[in-house]
Amino acid sequence: MRKNQVAVVGAAETTELGVIPNASQLQLHADAALNAIADAGLKLSDIDGFATAVETPQQVCHYLGIKPTWVDGTSVGGCSFMLHVRHAAAAIEAGLCKTVLITHAESGKSMIGKAPRSIPADSLQGQFEAPFGVYGPPSMFPIPVLRFMKTYGITHEQIASVAVVQREWAAKNPRAMMKDPITVADVLNSRMIAYPFRLLQCCLVTDGGGALILTSADRAKDFPRKPVYIMGTGESVETPMVSQMETFNSSRAFKTAGPLAFKEAGIAHKDVDHLMIYDAFAHLPLFGLGDLGFMPHEETGKFIADGNTRPGGKLPLNTNGGGLSYMHSGMYGMYALQESVRQMRGIAPAQVPNAKISVCHGVGGMFAASGTIVFTNER
């Protein structure tokens, strides 16, 4: 794909984030969509392309009254929205549609109008993982951590520092769920969930949603908001079974998607002003920094513990507070994208001064899938 041919011209989260007991999951999709439509200064009838995950495109389009000529229901977990951005950019460039709406919403906490996740007993996961006591992401996502730590000499304190630093960012975000400062000791003394991870190393469980609107870069200049260009994109999948990853020392999906996006954007790591790495659990930023090639994996723990990703650090990371402290409805990728867009527009609560390039990296499932988007505010 050619870079900077497509731009984000509308971006918004749901009116409320956190605990939303008065709206179904489908209504949260609509709330986010209507906010994004208003942000872009458009009408629903202007939308001719639509993408969403978990809920089907037909469900959300019918509810909103949208009549699309291009749809994408790619649903690979929390990074689905990164893949939607990539697919939408290609579709717009190919002339399949002009204005794409991407929605995410999840009643992750209140569970209103949300189908429970279940694992069929005759699936491979149902036969070869579920019988051994995995029960939800906290029992699965951290399974690679001890191997990763041993291979690279990463310490418990270093991984705990991920949560501490992100809480510092969250404190600057009025909409963040958790804003009180925490220490490494607080993290390491919080309730055990699945050793080696404790409560403060696991993502929040909340309600919310978000939506993006994309159109061609040539049209983007006529919109009310500062356009945020799609500079590079990447995607991949590996396996739905965490036990079957090629290695626990890295993520193959990360190592495929990330470098693709950097190559397409034509940027080097030193060009990155702002970085989002989907943090469902505290080890993900370490995998991300290594797999995206920012530094050898051995250095990732020390890099974060030394404060390089905190406010004022040389690589601002997860500046909304992340899935650990901002919000996590279950598929957090949309919120990472929203923060990258805010940073590129220059309106983020914890704005990185003069940021011109933002990399937004997502994970789906337990390292099952990945999507990476490079944004820029300069064409």
If binding is defined by CB under 8 A, does position 117 make contact with other proteins?
A: no
For residue 107 the two structure tokens come to 């009643």
Answer for which of 19, 34, 111, 143 binds other proteins (CB under 8 A) is: 143
In whole angstroms, give the CA distance from residue 317 to residue 340. Answer: 10
State the nearest-atom distance from the C-beta of 47 to other proteins, in Å. Answer: 40
If binding is defined by CB under 8 A, does position 112 make contact with other proteins?
A: no
Nearer of residues 60 and 200 to other proteins, judged by Cβ: 200
User: Which residues does 89 contact at the CB level (< 8 Å), separation at least 6?
Assistant: 1, 5, 6, 214, 230, 233
Residue carrying the six token digits 């990763």: 148
If binding is defined by CB under 8 A, does position 134 make contact with other proteins?
A: yes
In whole angstroms, give the CA distance from residue 163 to residue 103. Answer: 28
In whole angstroms, give the CA distance from residue 234 to residue 190. Answer: 36
Count interface residues toward other proteins (CB under 8 A): 37
Nearer of residues 132 and 353 to other proteins, judged by Cβ: 132
**CB contact at 8 A, 17 and 177:** yes
User: Which residues does 118 contact at the CB level (< 8 Å), separation at least 6?
Assistant: none
Single out the segment in contact with other proteins by CB under 8 A; choices: 82-90, 138-146, 163-171, 211-219.
Answer: 138-146
Binders of other proteins among residues 157 to 216 (CB under 8 A) are: 191-197
Answer for which of 65, 126, 266, 296 binds other proteins (CB under 8 A) is: 126
CA nearest neighbour of 347 among 16, 105, 11, 30: 11
If binding is defined by CB under 8 A, does position 144 make contact with other proteins?
A: yes
If binding is defined by CB under 8 A, does position 244 make contact with other proteins?
A: yes
In whole angstroms, give the CA distance from residue 82 to residue 213. Answer: 13
Answer for which of 2, 62, 67, 150 binds other proteins (CB under 8 A) is: 150
Q: What is the DSSP letter of 109?
A: T
If binding is defined by CB under 8 A, does position 354 make contact with other proteins?
A: no
Nearer of residues 135 and 153 to other proteins, judged by Cβ: 135
Nearest 5°: the CA angle 205, 306, 173 is 40
Answer for which of 4, 139, 256, 351 binds other proteins (CB under 8 A) is: 139
Answer for which of 58, 67, 135, 347 binds other proteins (CB under 8 A) is: 135
Pairing of strands 369-376, 228-237: antiparallel
Answer for which of 241, 282, 359, 366 binds other proteins (CB under 8 A) is: 241
Answer for which of 65, 136, 153, 266 binds other proteins (CB under 8 A) is: 136
State the nearest-atom distance from the C-beta of 138 to other proteins, in Å. Answer: 8
CA atoms lying within 13 Å on the CB side of residue 253: 26
Element (H, E) at 315: none
Single out the segment in contact with other proteins by CB under 8 A; choices: 9-17, 26-34, 102-110, 146-154.
Answer: 146-154
Q: Give contact residues for other proteins (rule: CB under 8 A).
A: 119-122, 124, 126-136, 138-140, 142-147, 150, 191-197, 241, 243-244, 248
